[in-house]
């Protein structure tokens, strides 16, 4: 069965963070269904294609995913090569499960091309490796928000990485303290990692709420524990600086 739909991870920001394979498949697209988080510069990689914005912001709450599933199936039935372009990696908090199921139910063959997920972009941006010899043996990728809109935060790995914490940084900090992390645990917050206007700041867990202002309204990754502290001595922002939110690790 020939592949009709290719899911492509666009990476976290700048268009050159897409994989070579992703760029090649994109160049062959007739139709591209894309999300809000993907870089508009990616459009120049497929100028021949019809670009359809399916960013959920354009849909009313609750109907978004079903509409996207239906559009995907409809375009795949009328075109040879449909690309579903997603921010970061399609397999990480990308609703890939639902879309694969919808296509499978319609008998449409797919391929998935991986991308650089935001957690990895944040680690690269801040030069803070997620694993550390001896102290960081495990990494957890978690969403700070449940489907019901509740905040969650636990202690499952040496390095805990949270997506979708939004403005809830103070509350997330309190959840993590309650889950057993120490008040002086290092936390690194990186927003728009991989973009030219990326920002990052470091905090102690007890002071995580201070990061909310700096990163307000920007997609952010919160890295907690072993992978959060600087590896280079004399890094610009000390891990426990009281006003770390006003002193970004990296500025535009
Ligand atoms: N599939 C995507 C994640 C989608 S969920 C991936 O693999 O990266 C959306 C969340 O990802 C945002 O709320 C934010 O927490 C995070 N995110 C996406 N892009 C980001 C970026 N450039 N910098 C920091 N966080 C980002």
CATH of the domain at 89: 3.40.1010.10
Q: At what angle do helices 96-105 and 64-78 cross, to 10 degrees?
A: 40
Strands 31-34, 82-86: pairing kind: parallel
87 lines ligand 1 (CB under 6 A): yes
What pTM value is reported for the model?
0.90
Ligand 1 binding pocket includes 11 (Cβ within 6 Å): no
Q: Cα(169) to centroid of ligand 1, in Å? A: 15
Tens-place pLDDT, residues 99-145: 999 999 999 999 999 999 999 999 999 999 999 999 999 999 999 88
Ligand 1 within 6 A of CB of 248: no
* Closest atom of ligand 1 relative to the 144 alpha carbon: 15
Q: How many helices (H) and strands (E) does the chain have?
A: 6, 10
What is the per-residue pLDDT across 62-96, written as a single tens digit (0 to 9) for each? 448 899 999 999 999 999 999 999 999 999 999 99
- Pair (53, 148) in one structural domain: no
Average of per-residue pLDDT across 21-34: 97
Task: Say which CATH number the domain at 223 has.
Answer: 3.30.950.10
**Are 123 and 102 within one domain?**
no
Q: Say yes or no: 122 and 109 in one domain.
A: no
Decide which of 113, 130, 164 is a domain's last residue: 113
Q: Are residues 46 and 136 in the same domain?
A: no
Is 133 found in the same domain as 17? no
Q: Is 193 in the pocket of ligand 1 (CB under 6 A)?
A: yes
- Ligand 1 centre distance from Cα of residue 164 (Å): 7
Average pLDDT, the chain: 88
Contact 221 CB / ligand 1 (< 6 Å)? yes
Instruction: Identify the domain containing residue 26 by its residue range.
Output: 3-113
How many distinct structural domains can be found in the chain?
Answer: 2
State whether 128 and 223 are in the same domain. yes
pLDDT band at 59 (very low <50, low <70, confident <90, very high): very low
Q: Let me know whether 80 and 147 are in one domain.
A: no
If asked whether residues 135 and 212 sit together in one domain, one would say: yes
What separation in angstroms does the CA of 226 have from each of 174, 208, 229?
19, 16, 7
* pLDDT given at position 50: 96
CA of 12 from ligand 1 middle (Å) equals 7
- The verdict on 94 and 166 lying in the same domain is no
User: Could you give the residue numbers annotated as active site?
Assistant: 35, 56
**Do 127 and 48 reside in the same domain of the chain?**
no
pLDDT digits (tens, 9 = 90+) for 144-202: 887 777 888 889 999 999 999 888 999 999 999 999 999 999 999 999 999 999 999 99
Mutate-to-test residue for ligand 1 from 144, 219, 223, 250, highest number of ligand atoms within 8 A of CB: 219
**Where does a domain end: 113, 138, 168?**
113
């Amino acid at each position: 069965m020939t592949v009709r739909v290719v899911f492509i991870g666009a990476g976290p920001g700048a268009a050159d963070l897409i994989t070579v394979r992703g760029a090649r498949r994109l160049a062959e697209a007739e139709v591209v269904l894309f999300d809000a988080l993907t870089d508009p510069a990616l459009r120049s990689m497929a100028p021949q294609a019809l670009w359809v914005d399916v960013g959920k912001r354009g849909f009313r709450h609750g109907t978004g995913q079903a509409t996207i599933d239906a559009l995907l199936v409809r375009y795949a039935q009328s075109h040879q090569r449909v690309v579903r372009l997603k921010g970061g990696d399609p397999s990480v908090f990308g609703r890939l499960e639902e879309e694969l199921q919808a296509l499978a139910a319609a008998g449409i063959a797919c391929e998935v091309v991986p991308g650089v997920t935001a957690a990895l972009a944040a680690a690269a941006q801040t030069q803070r490796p997620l694993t550390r010899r001896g102290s960081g043996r495990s990494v957890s990728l978690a969403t700070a928000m449940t489907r019901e809109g509740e905040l969650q935060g636990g202690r499952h790995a040496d390095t805990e990485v949270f997506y979708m914490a939004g403005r809830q940084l103070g509350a997330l900090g309190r959840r993590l303290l309650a889950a057993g992390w120490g008040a002086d645990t290092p936390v690194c917050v990186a927003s728009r990692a991989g973009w030219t206007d990326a920002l990052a700041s470091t905090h102690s867990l007890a002071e995580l709420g201070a990061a909310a202002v700096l990163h307000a309204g920007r997609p952010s990754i919160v890295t907690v524990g072993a992978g959060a502290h600087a590896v280079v001595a004399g890094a610009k922002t000390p891990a426990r600086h009281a006003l770390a939110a006003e002193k970004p690790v990296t500025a535009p």
